[in-house]
Amino acid sequence: MIQLHSVSPQSKKSDFIVNAEKTNNQGIFIACIILGLWTISITLFLSLNIAKVPIPLIAVAMLWQTFFYTGLFITAHDAMHGVVFPQNPKVNNGIGKIFVLLYGLFSYQELLKKHCLHHRYPSTKDDPDFYEHQYQNFFAWYFNFIKSYWSWTQHLGFIFVFILLRYVLNIFQVNLILFWVIPSICSSIQLFYFGTFLPHRRLEVGYTSVHRTRSIPLPIFWSFISCYHFGYHKEHHEYPNVPWWRLPEVYKGLEQNSVNTNLTNTNS
């Protein structure tokens, strides 16, 4: 089983020290919270009588479900880096397999192979997530991105699951569309926008990092809401063994190191 534990070949280690012991007992706990809340909410929402629920509350429920769909994928992504349950790789990878299956019937092993390429060759023609085109239009890149990960096996699997939910479990079609189909699509857009398009798109000034990426340092709350701190993307590529909830800490640590270095250089 491939595992992304170490930094990619482009990495240049900083003197910022990451204490890995902090993550050992938290990854599995946070993963269980995300899975539990996703399970409870989708079960509740699929059983709702939509006719009796105000439209604003339906919209809030859809946003809520989108957020936890994104959480499923972010957790699976951390599993690819071996940090959900580092004490036991089999359990760690098992969690990753379950989460990508629930998220979109993906093959964990196939995602892992492509993610290895993404970290090894970021923002190049060999990066499966990158859109090698002169004009990196958001929509063209997104559809190319989805096409590269989508398969007919998933398509048939979704048809089977839809038939099972609709005609065996008698869940209303409108509920399936509002709380299953739309949130999963919105989640893919959210992940693409904050995890690929913004950090990896080619700007006129070019890339300033060896990882050919950049960070979007939003305030902590909005960084979490936007995409589980995935906007701290440069830090993720520099320290891929750090889980999502510690990326702001890494960003602040590196910023402080930069300030201290500048002060030292100024005083010397």
CA torsion, ordered 104, 108, 109, 112, to nearest 10 deg: 100
Residue 263 above 90 pLDDT? no
Burial class (CB in 10 A: 0-12, 13-18, 19+), 12: exposed
Pick the range with the lowest mean pLDDT from 87-91, 107-111, 196-200, 211-215: 211-215
Closest listed residue to residue 40, CA positions, set 64, 60, 57, 63? 64
Residue 121 has phi, psi (to 5 degrees) of -130, 60
Give the pLDDT score at 267: 52
| pLDDT mean across residues, the chain | 87
Give the pLDDT score at 254: 80
Residue 198 is which amino acid? Answer: L
Give the pLDDT score at 8: 47
203: pLDDT confidence band, cut at 50, 70 and 90?
A: confident
Report CA-CA distances (Å) from 77 to 6, 147, 177, 203: 14, 19, 26, 26
Residue 21 above 60 pLDDT? no
Give the pLDDT score at 258: 54
204-247 per-position pLDDT tens digit: 777 777 888 989 989 999 999 999 999 999 999 999 999 999 99
Residue 108 is which amino acid? Answer: Y
Give the pLDDT score at 190: 97
Q: How far apart are CA 248 and CA 217, in angstroms?
A: 8
Give the pLDDT score at 176: 97
Q: How far apart are CA 73 and CA 71, in angstroms?
A: 5
DSSP-derived secondary structure for 95-164? HHHHHHHHHHS--HHHHHHHHHHHHHSTTSTT-TT---SSS--HHHHHHHHHHHH--HHHHHHHHHHHHI
153-196 per-position pLDDT tens digit: 999 999 999 999 999 999 999 999 999 999 999 999 999 999 99
Give the pLDDT score at 7: 41
Query: Could you tell me the residue ranges of all domains in the chain?
Result: 23-203
Give 210's DSSP letter.
T
Q: How far apart are CA 137 and CA 135, in angstroms?
A: 6
The distance from CA 240 to its chain's CA centroid, rounded to whole angstroms, is 13
Give the pLDDT score at 209: 76
**Collapsed DSSP state (helix, strand, coil) of residue 34:** helix
Closest listed residue to residue 176, CA positions, set 69, 52, 62? 62
**Mean pLDDT of the 23-44 span:** 92
